[in-house]
Amino acid sequence: PEEKLCTLVLFAEEGFVARLKHKSYESLSSRIGCHVSLLPMDRDQTEQYIKFRLLVAGGRATLFTKEAFEAVYQHTGGVPRLVSRLAAAAMQEAYLDDVPVVDSERVRRALARQLP
């Protein structure tokens, strides 16, 4: 065909990207037009990321205490996927404890639940 059949946007972890360098994936790898790496966020970016997601979901940006933001950052290193997962688990802990805000204790409990 003379036209493109489809355009695909692929999001993957670095391990998958490294795998694409193998000769057996050369056909696929040669079709990748752009590669962008997302670096971990700093403390402020992590806090702003959580606040933004809360607001988009219809929540309030003041749901997390400063100490909770710090705890989320410390335990995730600012990796967006991990930040989202831990923040969601901490909110669930606050809900289960029937408390109006997510504090560092809820983050600690969320971490304890996530560990095997």
pLDDT of residue 64: 98
In a domain, 102, yes or no: yes
pLDDT of residue 67: 99
Number of Cβ within 10 Å of residue 101's Cβ equals 13
Tokens standing for residue 74 = 């410390």
Judge whether 74 and 111 are in contact, CB under 8 Å: no
CATH number for 79: 1.10.8.60
Cα 91 to Cα 87: distance, rounded to the nearest angstrom: 6
What pTM does this model have?
0.79
Phi first, then psi, for residue 64 (nearest 5°) are -100, 140
In a domain, 52, yes or no: yes
Question: pLDDT tens track of the chain, all 116 residues?
Answer: 678 778 888 888 888 888 888 999 898 888 888 888 889 999 999 999 999 999 999 999 999 999 999 999 999 999 999 999 999 999 999 999 999 999 999 999 999 998 76
E runs forming strands in the chain: none
